[in-house]
């Protein structure tokens, strides 16, 4: 897993609608990247549903959230519709897990990413990272504590 202080690896991935989204699209804003194992699992549904609930508060921090998994854009679109999400979901589908590998979150054993959060600052530097145990939803309080820590350092 890449450590805080490192430049966030760049990426260009298709979103749920097939539109390319890059790390550079978020330049000048903070970005929470939520790597998660897969669409439609109970824990991932709870995790992304929780982040959707706090999205307005995240946006008040001049930040955005994206979810990334190895699922396809079509799967992401159906998953978003089922949960009523507006958070962009990016498909690290082909080559499978390439971005997750760059961030150090991909598991060759399971063929998917671990449940890992990164907070990237306005300049594209990772300022905080958190890996959760497989079946544990990383709470929104972790994200807001990371914002507070970053704000205190500014």
Task: Tell me the per-residue pLDDT of 131-145, one tens digit each, with 9 for 90 and over.
Answer: 999 899 999 999 999
Query: Does residue 44 fall inside a structural domain?
Result: yes
Catalytic residue list = 44
pLDDT tens for 38-70 read 999 999 999 999 999 999 999 999 999 999 999
In contact, 125 and 10? CB cutoff 8 Å: no
Q: Cα dihedral angle (130, 124, 16, 50), rounded to 10 degrees?
A: 40
Do residues 105 and 99 make contact, with C-beta atoms less than 8 angstroms apart? no
* Domain CATH for 103: 3.40.30.10
Q: Is 54 contained in some domain?
A: yes
Using an 8 Å Cβ cutoff, are 47 and 140 in contact? no
> In the block, which residue shows the tokens 């500014």?
154
Domain extent, residue 107, equals: 32-136
Q: What tens digit of pLDDT does each residue of 68-112 get?
A: 999 999 999 999 999 999 999 999 999 999 999 999 999 999 999
What are phi and psi for residue 151, nearest 5 degrees? -65, -40
Residue 154: which pLDDT band, with cuts at 50, 70 and 90? low
- What does the mean pLDDT of the chain come to? 96
Q: Please list, in sequence order, all residues whose beta carbon lies within 8 angstroms of the beta carbon of residue 29, skipping any fewer than 6 positions away.
A: 62, 63, 64, 122
Question: In this structure, is residue 104 part of a structural domain?
Answer: yes
State how many domains the chain has. Answer: 1
Q: Is 18 a domain residue?
A: no
Q: Is 72 exposed, middle or buried (0-12, 13-18, 19+ CB in 10 A)?
A: middle
């Amino acid at each position: 897993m890449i450590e805080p202080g490192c430049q966030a690896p760049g990426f260009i991935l298709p979103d749920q609608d097939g539109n390319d989204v890059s790390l550079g699209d978020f330049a000048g804003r903070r970005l929470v990247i939520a790597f998660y194992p897969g669409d439609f699992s109970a824990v991932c549904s709870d995790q992304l549903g929780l982040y959707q609930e706090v999205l307005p508060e995240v946006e008040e921090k001049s930040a955005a959230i994206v979810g990334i998994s190895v699922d396809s854009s079509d799967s992401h679109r159906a998953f978003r519709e089922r949960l009523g999400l507006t958070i962009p979901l990016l498909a690290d589908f082909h080559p499978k897990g390439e971005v997750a590998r760059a961030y150090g979150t991909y598991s060759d054993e399971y063929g998917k990413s671990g449940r890992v959060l990164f907070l990237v600052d306005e300049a594209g530097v990772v300022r905080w990272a958190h890996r959760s145990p497989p079946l544990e939803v990383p709470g929104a309080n972790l994200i807001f504590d990371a914002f507070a820590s970053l704000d205190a350092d500014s």
